[in-house]
Amino acid sequence: MDGNKRIGVRDVARHAGVSVATVSRVVADSGYPVAKATRERVLSSVQQLGFVPNLIARTFATSRTKTIGVAVPVLNAYYARMLMGIEGEATRNGLSILLSIVGDDHDRRESAIDQFLARRLDGIVVCSGAGDSALDRGPARIGIPTVIVGQQPDAGFATVTVDNRQASYMATAHLLERGHRELIFLTSRSDWFDFRDRLAGFAACLAERGAGYRGQVIEGAFSERDAYDRIRQAVAAGTRATAVLAATDRQALGALAALADLGIPIPGKMAVVGFDNLPTSEFIRPALTSVDMPADDMGATAIAMIVKAKGPDAIALADMTLEPRLIVRSSS
């Protein structure tokens, strides 16, 4: 066959000895029953001829793009892990993803959703940020299966979350069981969704122990540098705390660096625990105790929910809450 000629469906049909309709059904994977031997013959011809399906034409013919739109705030280690779960589950289901990085900008996120809808994608995953506002439209207006990973106010959508309150309670109990009575909760902003729940778990665990157990909340740690500065300031001010529960591993790393530079033994004089179980946390010294928030499982679960959905209404009431794990290492 002429190497300059674009191979079409009719060429494949002629090569395989089947009808054009049969080739279309096999290539589109439409679910229409085709005998196994016939399917294999068509796929063999596709491979031999180097046939590349017209995805745009297939979209209009089947009303499916086999693509999921994914909006994420940033590409840090936490969201990268979530995307690995999303991409892995999508690939297992024969789906592609269209990624949009929207920052903490409400309008950019809504614009990304507009683009997903304009491209007639099969579903949407919105990975929420710490302080995200609710989506402007509900499931009925979006019209395709949509899942939010993380917490948002009055979401009204299918959600995949981790029990942040339980996670923080577990981490706080771990520190109290090791004899600590005064603890610092180090965070960026305590009113952001995940951090709010982590603070609630911290406070609840201390309150259950009664008098003699106290917690100090330190905010403003938006980066490792901020966390470093906040812990140095707390030590200079004479804090009596002997443990730090940081709302993220990044904040915990800043706290570890500050304590090391001040010559404070870890965990002898001050213990540190973080959240997210980032890959680097295992390899610093002392290795960081951290609550593993299963971001990859959250992403994979969101895709699985979309795959199982029969329509936007079928998925709207679904909700999944995954369990955290405490990974104990030498920092505590």
pLDDT along the chain (332 residues), means of 10: 66 89 76 83 88 57 76 89 95 93 87 88 88 79 88 81 94 97 95 91 95 94 96 97 96 97 96 94 96 94 89 66 94 97
The secondary element (H helix, E strand) that includes residue 246 is strand 243-246
129 is a domain residue: yes
pTM of the model: 0.75
Q: For tokens 């739109």, what's the residue?
A: 69
Kindly report the CATH number assigned to the domain that includes residue 208.
3.40.50.2300
Map residue 273 onto helix, strand or coil: strand
Per-residue CA distances from 151 to 131, 196, 205 (Å): 9, 11, 22
Examine the domain organization and report whether 85 and 55 are in the same domain.
no
180 is a domain residue: yes
Q: What is the pLDDT of residue 10?
A: 86
321 is a domain residue: no
Examine the domain organization and report whether 100 and 206 are in the same domain.
no
Q: What is the pLDDT of residue 5?
A: 62
327 is a domain residue: no
Map residue 298 onto helix, strand or coil: helix
Are residues 130 and 194 in contact, defined by beta-carbon separation less than 8 angstroms? yes
Domain that holds residue 201: 164-292
Total domains, the chain: 3
| 72: phi then psi, degrees, rounded to nearest 5 | -125, 150
Map residue 280 onto helix, strand or coil: helix
Are residues 170 and 324 in contact, defined by beta-carbon separation less than 8 angstroms? yes
The secondary element (H helix, E strand) that includes residue 200 is helix 193-209
Q: What is the pLDDT of residue 29?
A: 67
